């Protein structure tokens, strides 16, 4: 499973653009799609608007605002605190099994 990202929009951010341009995200996605088909696997692509970072992986509460500078996710509803990227990964895994 991968997440569809708005790479064009992220490239307009001066702080991220150089690092993202070097990554070659489109080529990485293309290779994953190609190899998945070749091996007979299914590649699930989460919608770019799926709130994987804003949703609590414990209770499902969704934050309205989450700044990029906030590296830890703290749920306002249940108090669950977790690394932001780990929280998003758990939410994507849960999306796979829905």
The tens place of each residue's pLDDT in the chain, 98 residues long, gives 788 877 777 778 777 777 777 677 778 889 999 999 999 998 989 988 899 999 999 999 999 999 989 999 999 999 999 999 999 999 999 988 87
- CA 64/CA 87 separation, integer angstroms: 16
43, 28 contact by CB (below 8 A):
no
Q: What is the pLDDT of residue 20?
A: 72
For residue 18, how many other CB atoms are within 10 A of its CB? 9
- Model-level pTM? 0.72
Listed in sequence order, the residues at least 6 apart from 77 whose beta carbon sits closer than 8 Å to its beta carbon are 56, 59, 61
């Amino acid at each position: 499973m991968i997440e569809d990202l708005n790479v064009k929009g992220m490239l307009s951010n001066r702080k991220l653009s150089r690092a993202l341009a070097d990554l070659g995200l489109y080529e990485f996605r293309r290779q994953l799609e190609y190899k998945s088909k070749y091996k007979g696997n299914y590649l699930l692509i989460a919608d770019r608007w799926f709130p994987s970072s804003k949703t609590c992986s414990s209770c499902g509460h969704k934050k309205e605002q989450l700044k990029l500078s906030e590296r830890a996710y703290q749920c306002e509803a249940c108090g669950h605190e977790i690394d932001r990227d780990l929280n998003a990964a758990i939410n994507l895994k849960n999306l796979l099994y829905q």
